[in-house]
Amino acid sequence: MGPLFSRIEISVAFMWKEPDEDWEIAVKRFQWSESAFSNGDPPVCTDSVVFPNSGLHDPDEFDDWSPDIAYDLETGDIHVVWTTWTKLAANKARLAYRMYWHDIDTWQGQCLVFQTGSQMNQWIPRIAIGSPGLPRHEYVVGVVYSQWAASAIHVGCAYWEPGSDPTDPDNGASFLSLPYNLALNAGLPRIAITPRCNSTHYGTIIFTQTLSTGQHQVVEVNNIRQVQNPQEPEEYFWPIVHITNPLGVLGSIACHIESGSGPMASFNYFEKNIPGVGWKVTNGRFNPIDPSDSVNVEWTVMPGLVSGELEASDYLGYTYAHPIQAGDIATVSVPDEWNNAYWAAWCNAIDQDAFQVYAAFGDTLRD
């Protein structure tokens, strides 16, 4: 969502289907004029499109699912990723991508994004756009996803410059693998990237890591630039620890627009220290330059408990629409008012028993 000239626009990606047909991906765009927004009038739908799946796989056998969307505040362009199943690579789950060009009011053709020669399934992507400070790439589209790697599920990342073709062998997508523990499953990642207007540029990824059977922990990659160093990549991973003997699942992350307090990011996740007891929803804000320093983290624990458990099969979401209910977090930036505030939202259960959504506003930097 973002301002666009004299209008306010919001774009939504979702799964859609006709009765007795397969799931497809759809996008709707809505706009308010400034006066309509101020008056509380409803938005006007300016575009509605359903992405055809017949060009990527056999529509009679498999669905498209788990879409995510990123909105470029500078251009009004829209970037969408989702999971699809394709026959082009030995029946692998792949990431599909499509972009809307605002200047010419056109959706480009959709394509598959995967590393050449890779035989790994890749699924449940999440997308962001911004300036991560990567060499030779000032401004990028970044996508994280779960993937098969050797004998376990790990987190992968792809990035490319907005407007470029991610399938171009010379100037297309670059790929990172983020194996925190080679022997145990990890996945369900989220990504956030700083906007170009920040003076400090970084990208951050958060994911769920298996510790042992039935036990999980949330891990954050605090600097995408540094994790490319193959010497000691583990030093760039931050296991999020708030309580004694913590278990954590399903983290979300967001970068703030820089203000007088310097670089800052916020996250939320579900945590507990007693197996079988409900999850607490915990929000935190940290300095991404050194998040492992406990003085750089502010914690807020929400009242109430969230039910449900994360099963081993929940990492493996490429053969169905993923049922796990996670929380989410978004930053708020109003100059001189709410420079480092956030809205967090979550369901009352992390599985299909969820029936209610909660939201909370936070800004612990203000007195």
Most confident of 14-23, 57-66, 224-233, 288-297: 14-23
Report how far apart, in Å, the C-alpha atoms of 288 and of each of 120, 223, 366 are. 31, 7, 20
Q: How far apart (Å, rounded) are the C-alpha atoms in residues 94 and 255?
A: 27
Q: How far apart (Å, rounded) are the C-alpha atoms in residues 248 and 275?
A: 11
Per-residue pLDDT at 144 exceeds 50: yes
126 pLDDT band, cuts 50/70/90, is: very high
Per-residue pLDDT at 18 exceeds 90: no
Q: For residue 351, what are the domain limits? A: 51-362
- For residue 78, being part of any structural domain is answered with yes
Residue 224 confidence (pLDDT): 60
Pick from 179-193, 197-211, 291-305: least confident: 291-305
Share of the chain above pLDDT 70, in %: 81
Exposed (0-12), middle (13-18) or buried (19+): which is 269, by Cβ within 10 Å? buried
Per-residue pLDDT at 117 exceeds 70: no
The structure tokens 């938005």 sit at 43
- For residue 6, being part of any structural domain is answered with no
Report how far apart, in Å, the C-alpha atoms of 36 and of each of 3, 6, 32, 185 are. 14, 11, 6, 48
Please give the angle made by the CA atoms of 163, 221 and 98, to the nearest 5 degrees: 25
Whether residue 153 contacts residue 208, with contact meaning beta carbons closer than 8 Å, is answered with no
Residue 2 confidence (pLDDT): 53
- For residue 39, being part of any structural domain is answered with no
Per-residue pLDDT at 226 exceeds 60: no
Q: For the chain, what is the domain count?
A: 1
- For residue 183, being part of any structural domain is answered with yes
- For residue 218, being part of any structural domain is answered with yes
115 pLDDT band, cuts 50/70/90, is: confident
Residue 138 confidence (pLDDT): 83
Per-residue pLDDT at 292 exceeds 80: no
Share of the chain above pLDDT 90, in %: 28
- For residue 340, being part of any structural domain is answered with yes
Per-residue pLDDT at 57 exceeds 60: no
Per-residue pLDDT at 295 exceeds 70: no
Pick from 72-76, 102-106, 146-150, 209-213: least confident: 146-150
Per-residue pLDDT at 22 exceeds 50: yes
Whether residue 356 contacts residue 345, with contact meaning beta carbons closer than 8 Å, is answered with no
Q: Mean pLDDT across the stretch 135-163?
A: 87
DSSP type of residue 43: P
Pick from 51-55, 95-99, 234-238, 362-366: least confident: 362-366
Q: In what order do the strands lie in the sheet with 297-301?
A: 247-255, 265-272, 280-286, 297-301
Q: Could you tell me which residue, 228 or 306, shows the higher pLDDT?
A: 306
Q: Could you tell me which residue, 232 or 120, shows the higher pLDDT?
A: 120
Which candidate, 239, 277, 79, places its Cα nearest to that of 159?
A: 79
Per-residue pLDDT at 128 exceeds 90: yes
Q: Could you tell me which residue, 225 or 139, shows the higher pLDDT?
A: 139
Claim: this prediction has a pTM higher than 0.85:
yes
Identify the CATH number of the domain in which residue 256 sits.
2.120.10
- For residue 268, being part of any structural domain is answered with yes
Q: Could you tell me which residue, 77 or 276, shows the higher pLDDT?
A: 77
35: left (phi over 0), alpha (psi -120 to 50) or beta: alpha
Per-residue pLDDT at 363 exceeds 80: no
Q: Mean pLDDT across the stretch 231-253?
A: 79
DSSP type of residue 38: H
Per-residue pLDDT at 163 exceeds 60: yes
Give the DSSP H or E segment for 362. strand 357-362
Pick from 40-44, 158-162, 267-271, 333-337: least confident: 333-337
Residue 230 confidence (pLDDT): 47
Please give the angle made by the CA atoms of 157, 60 and 125, to the nearest 5 degrees: 15
- For residue 346, being part of any structural domain is answered with yes
Per-residue pLDDT at 38 exceeds 70: yes
Q: How far apart (Å, rounded) are the C-alpha atoms in residues 300 and 362?
A: 8
- CB neighbours of 155 closer than 8 A, spacing ≥ 6? 144, 145, 146, 147, 177, 178, 179, 180, 186, 187, 189, 205, 207
Q: How far apart (Å, rounded) are the C-alpha atoms in residues 349 and 320?
A: 19
- CB neighbours of 174 closer than 8 A, spacing ≥ 6? 137, 158, 159, 160
Q: Mean pLDDT across the stretch 7-17?
A: 86
